[in-house]
Every structure is written in structure tokens, then in C-alpha cells.
Amino acid sequence: MAQNHICELCNRSVSTITKHHLIPLEKGGKKFETLSLCPTCHKQIHALFTNRELATHYHTLESLKRDQKIIKYLRFIENIPADSYVNIKKSRHVRKSG
């Protein structure tokens, strides 16, 4: 499989890339305000933060990269081969808010 996408968060080269809306569509996010993320990073972001948190605190790549939980995650994911499956668990406060 060709690995020709670079994830903007973990910088790994992956075969599948997803689009993350920095401001969720339901909060008025526009189509062009997106990040290219590997499926694992994308899942991780939504597991850590609610849409409201994403819209208010994490609407730039820089603000995501500054977060302690993301920093910890990136330290972990950089040693995981691209395209391998990683089980991401939703944090409790995300589960609670639905």
C-alpha cells in the first residue's frame, strides 16, 4: 500500500488520511479549516476532547500540540509503526458528555 500522506499531528507517513474539522461543523466550522490526520490521531483527539472543548480551546494545530495529553500521546505514537491498529479509549469526561 502506498504511504503518501503525512499526518499533521504525529508526522508519520500513512496510507490513509482523515480530515479533522478544527471547528466542528455543528459549531459553524468551515470546510477549509481542516487538519490532515492519520486515523489514530483523529480518534485520539475526539477521545480526549469534547466538540465544545475542541471548538473553544483546540481550534489550531498549535494549541493541540501544546496540550499535555497530546504531548504524552505523541511521545507514545511516534514509536508505533504507521498504519498499525491502536486501541484508543475515550476519556471519562468525553464519555459523560456524549
Which positions touch Zn ion (CB under 5 A)?
A: 7, 9-10, 20, 38, 41
Q: How far is the CB of 20 from Zn ion (least distance, A)?
A: 4
Task: Give the span between the Cα atoms of 16 and 37, in whole angstroms.
Answer: 9
Residue nearer to Zn ion on the CB measure, 9 or 48: 9
CB of 92 to Zn ion, least distance (A): 20
Identity of the residue, 74 or 96, whose beta carbon is nearer to Zn ion in the bound complex = 74
Cα–Cα distance measured from residue 59 to residue 1, given in angstroms and rounded to the nearest whole number: 32
Residue 29 CB, nearest approach to Zn ion (Å): 10
Contacts of 47 (CB under 8 A, 6+ apart): 88, 89, 90, 91, 94
